[in-house]
Structure 1
Amino acid sequence: MGSEVTRLVVVRGNSASGKSSVAAGIRDRFGRGLAVVGQDNLRRVVLRERDVPDGANIGLIDTVARYALDAGFHVVIEGILNAGRYGDMLAGLLGDHRGVSRCYYLDIPIEETLDRHSSKPDREYLAHVTERELRDWYRERDLLPEGVETVIGADSSLTDTVERIMRETGLEKAPTPPGTASHRFT
């Protein structure tokens, strides 16, 4: 799946840990030719599904990532992606991908998570997702097995985290897939 030049990046962590911001930052730095496969978008928006064991979104994330890699795109998968529910799917992707694959876990303490969540501009979302839910969902160091993830702590800024991932995955020098413009806004 994919090719020797495609990159597969997985960014995991608790709610409000910065996963979506990191994925958006990577895309902004790289430009076209990089697919962001967001768990929340596929699960909540496309399927309108709750996060349940063996949910349909697990297969959809897998399918979208594989399709994008086979089409020559670099892929960033981002989401909470609970290790118990999503670990087998992620292991399959990592094992099948022919190019560079890297996993990152954003390790943000619960108090910092609550602070970050409260700063979100979407008031409707804040009313729907409360501190109680965040505490219920929080899983300390929900790491994938076999040490496949690089843990990034709260002391790493968004810019530093994006730059680190760009460098460590080789995305900063990776080729733009054929057929995609390298300009961000075209």
Structure 2
Amino acid sequence: MTPSAPGTVGTKDTRLIVVRGNSASGKSSIAAGLREKFGRNLAIVGQDNLRRIVLRERDRPGGANIGLIDLTTRYALDNGFHVVIEGILYADRYGTMLHDLVRAHRGISRCYYVDVPYAETVRRHATKADAEYLQHVTPDHLSDWFREKDLLPDALETVIDAASTLDDTVQQILHESGLDQVLPIDR
């Protein structure tokens, strides 16, 4: 597929979904659930993977991962993939990049903020299977990272509260993005 025109990204048929929220709010589970329900041709652009694994970079203003998330998303959309960007993605650090992507995307874009109270993030965090991760990331870390309702400006996001089950959230996003009406492509 040829790249999109300057200032635009993707096609009228591609979907861009952004899932943001605090640590342990369920963002990665939502992204995995979307892929499981939809199938192939859905790229997951995970902030943690690109920032921590690929770049081994701390989350800081102006970090290189911000541009890498943008480039990866644009590349996938321009090649006909639907994209789910997921991560904490603090509004003050990632907001401009996310706004620019949504504005440039020619298809349907939907943004979601998973709003889970701090006590629930601690409870969910404790259920993670990676014992080494649990030793290195403590409730004190979660407290330092936690931002109450860190919403993007301009009412860009739909807020998903803690009462929404994983399946309900996945179904809501599939429906609102129109992915429930799109056939996956077996690549």
Q: Which TM bucket (shorter chain)?
A: over 0.9
Does 2:153 correspond to 1:156?
Answer: no
Does 2:175 correspond to 1:167?
Answer: yes
The total of aligned residue pairs comes to: 179
Alignment-derived partner of residue 86 in structure 2: 78
Question: Of residues 119, 129, 153 in structure 2, which corresponds to 1:121?
Answer: 129
1:100-139 map, 5 Å? 100-139=108-147
Does 2:2 correspond to 1:2?
Answer: no
Per-residue CA deviations over 1:5-50 (Å, capped at 9, x if unaligned) read 0000000000000000000000001100000000000000000000
TM-score, reference length from structure 1: 0.95
* Structure 1 vs Structure 2 CA RMSD: 0.7
Write the distance in 1 (CA, Å) between the matches of 2:31 and 2:171: 11
Alignment-derived partner of residue 54 in structure 2: 46
Q: Percent identity?
A: 64
TM-score, reference length from structure 2: 0.94
8 A contact 1:39–1:79 mirrored in 2 = yes
SS for the counterpart of 2:179 is coil
What is the Cα deviation at residue 86 of structure 1?
0.1
What is the Cα deviation at residue 174 of structure 1?
1.5
Alignment-derived partner of residue 66 in structure 1: 74
**After TM superposition, which residue ranges in structure 1, 4 or more long, deviate above 4 angstroms?**
none
Write the distance in 1 (CA, Å) between the matches of 2:57 and 2:150: 22
Write the distance in 1 (CA, Å) between the matches of 2:116 and 2:54: 28
SS for the counterpart of 1:32 is coil
Structure 1 residue runs of 5 or longer lacking an equivalent are: 182-186
Write the distance in 1 (CA, Å) between the matches of 2:129 and 2:77: 33
What is the Cα deviation at residue 176 of structure 1?
2.7
Structure 2 residue runs of 5 or longer lacking an equivalent are: 1-8
